[in-house]
Amino acid sequence: MSTNNEKLRIRVKRVMVAIMSVLLVLTLVTTISFDVALSPAFAEGEEEAAAETAPAEGEAAAEGEAAAEGEAAAEGGGEAAAAEGEAAEAEQTEEEEPVSSDPLDTGLRRQTEAPEITASSAIVMSGSTSEVVYEKHSERKMSPGKITMLMNAMVVIDNMYNDAELSNTVEITEDLMQYGDTVQVGESISVGDLLKAMLVGGSDQAAEALATYSASSRKIFIKEMNSKAMELGLMDTQFSNPKGSYNAKTYSTARDCAVIAQAAMRYQLIKDYFAMRTVEVTAVSSAGERTVSLRNTNPLLTGTKQSELYNLTKGGILGKVGDPVEGVQYAGVATVDDMQLIVVLMDSKEKKVAYEAKSLLQYGDTKVTRNTIVKAGKKVGKARVRGGNITHVKAYTETKGFAYVPPEGSNDLVQTEVVMYDDLKAPLKEGSKVGEFRIYVADELKGTVDLVTKTDVKRGWWPSRYYISNFATVVICLVLLAIAALIMRILYVRKRREQIKAARRERRLREMARQQLAMEEDRRRRNWTDRTGVAGEQIGPRTGDLRAMAKRETRREELIAEAARTGASPKTIVKRKAKTEKKREAAREKAKKKNTSTDVHN
């Protein structure tokens, strides 16, 4: 009966350990997967969820009807619009107008007819869908000018290990002074400030300094620029310098330049710098620090005439090519109702480039196809964050996502993909980009939508380096403490049980000894003798039985202890001992025979 109880106890222990292990695994999986539930984003209202699930087709249809109504109204007043356009163009040669202080004045005017432009080559393309809504000699190879700096910035950022490199400094040498004097010889300037000086101020010196910093040589950097162009599928583009100065071996087309601007706007750093009206960079030397102020070259952002300003502009770059070409090259980006529009003008007149770019953007807004694929603010997944108090944050689309399918195509050609960045590190601010919502048409990438977070992510405890949030850390510690307490309890119970067994065995032995003494005393008192004739000897039948009982009890206790220690059943242990004893007996017999034969031989 006792043996069966011991077996039951052993099985119960094993079942308890297995249950605790399963609970530990389930707890880890649950906490790591759902720890984001404690973040503020978890407590969002049901209204947002309802908005996310609203069909995009209905919105697209509503937008299409609104666009149709606007287009019909604009066609009805076609003559008035043409006269208005002529009047606006005439304003280019008149005296400057005061800039409107009305924040709601976006400079947006519906234009349904393609404007007449003086640029040799031009294109208006949707950066959201890659749809071309206007083009003029867009395949003509020409000098790209300062649009080259967008390619320069992309290659520099691609070569950076992480954003910490923006704080690295570059010392201006004598060789760099031939490209400009934004920074003086011997002064040092950070990589981030060089990018600002190039993208905002159009500094040739900054472009050359970044080229030598990013690659081991200027020549290698130019090769990387051309490799990037091939990666983007630009078959009519080639670079021979990092800043875009005129050279017969440096050429591109308006269409390729639009693709370059589209790709550049996918870099959050370029996107942020591109929209700055003015910027201040700091040059450091042995004499101290010096601040240099630069103004954006984009006339739609910093123009002095109301007819030039276009408040929907998100960035742009303009610059003269120089001898022997006298025109200017311009690439600008604007966003109208989440639709990104890109305009490129090549060899345009400097006095007319702003008006022509604005007119083309307004025309593109009326002609672009708005087929909504995903709504703004829709939750599309979760991104992993390393080193944060939470390790998973919800990702939302920052803007609407659109797709353009040619008339001969089918909507079945549209596919989407959610790509989360795998190198996110805390801290993150609300609105930080954590991934991309990519839109493909016929397996070709046509547009992207930035995925952002709506919550701040603070730095977490040490385990967060391994994607274990603070909440998960607390739960794991509690589980480990519970397991440790259970193990200690099991060890204590086992030790206590052994003590109880030892005390019980000792009591039995004492009782047996007491009974034996009482029997011997009784024998002496009755003057009984054993088979040898000596009174009181402890060889009587009943005394032998008691000794045999004690031996059996001792063997049983040893057998139970060994079964608990090894995990085998008592029956198996008895068989093992019997088998071992037989082997020993056989070995003894063999040794005995060998000794006997040796004695006979001697």
The pLDDT assigned to 153 comes to 96
**Helix-, strand-, coil-residue percentages of the chain, each rounded to 5:** 50, 20, 30
Mean pLDDT calculated for residue range 401-427: 89
Of 374, 390, 421, which residue sits at a domain end?
A: 374
The pLDDT assigned to 30 comes to 59
Question: 283 and 162 in one domain?
Answer: yes
Q: Using an 8 Å Cβ cutoff, are 294 and 279 in contact?
A: yes
Q: What are the structure tokens assigned to 466, written together?
A: 């391994």
- Residue 389, in any domain of the structure: yes
Query: What phi and psi, each to the nearest 5 degrees, are found at residue 506?
Result: -65, -40
Question: 445 and 331 in one domain?
Answer: no
Question: 329 and 216 in one domain?
Answer: yes
Using the structure block, give the residue that is written with the tokens 């056989």.
Answer: 586
Answer whether residue 545 shows pLDDT above 80. no
Question: 440 and 307 in one domain?
Answer: no
- Residue 578, in any domain of the structure: no
Answer whether residue 553 shows pLDDT above 90. no
Q: State pLDDT tens for residues 291-316.
A: 999 998 888 877 666 555 677 778 88
Nearest alpha-carbon partner for 275 in 305, 329, 311, 320: 311
User: Domain residues for 406?
Assistant: 39-54+375-467
Tally of CB atoms within 10 A around 475: 18
State how far Cα 190 lies from the chain centre: 27
Question: 379 and 366 in one domain?
Answer: no
Of 448, 467, 486, which residue sits at a domain end?
A: 467
Q: How far apart are CA 476 and CA 25, in angstroms?
A: 10
The pLDDT assigned to 230 comes to 96
Question: 313 and 182 in one domain?
Answer: yes
Q: What are the structure tokens assigned to 459, written together?
A: 């730095």
Q: State pLDDT tens for residues 36-86.
A: 444 444 334 434 444 443 444 444 434 444 444 444 333 434 433 333 444
Answer whether residue 35 shows pLDDT above 70. no
The pLDDT assigned to 27 comes to 64
Question: 444 and 423 in one domain?
Answer: yes
- Residue 507, in any domain of the structure: no
Tally of CB atoms within 10 A around 237: 25
- Residue 335, in any domain of the structure: yes
Question: 453 and 370 in one domain?
Answer: no
The CATH number assigned to the domain holding 402 equals 2.60.410.10
Exposed/middle/buried for residue 443 (C-beta within 10 Å: 0-12, 13-18, 19+):
exposed
Question: 389 and 352 in one domain?
Answer: no
- Residue 10, in any domain of the structure: no
The pLDDT assigned to 29 comes to 58
The CATH number assigned to the domain holding 227 equals 3.40.710.10
**At 241, which amino acid appears?**
N
Q: How far apart are CA 238 and CA 252, in angstroms?
A: 6
Q: State pLDDT tens for residues 322-364.
A: 665 678 899 999 988 899 999 999 999 888 888 899 899 999 9
Question: 442 and 369 in one domain?
Answer: no
- Residue 326, in any domain of the structure: yes
- Residue 525, in any domain of the structure: no
- Residue 83, in any domain of the structure: no
Higher pLDDT, 197 or 104: 197
Q: Using an 8 Å Cβ cutoff, are 134 and 157 in contact?
A: no
Answer whether residue 551 shows pLDDT above 70. yes
Report helix, strand or coil for 262.
helix
Of 422, 438, 467, which residue sits at a domain end?
A: 467
Looking at the structure of the chain, the number of domains it has is 2
Question: 326 and 260 in one domain?
Answer: yes
Question: 131 and 268 in one domain?
Answer: yes
338: Cβ contacts below 8 Å, ≥ 6 apart: 128, 376, 399, 400, 402
The pLDDT assigned to 124 comes to 96
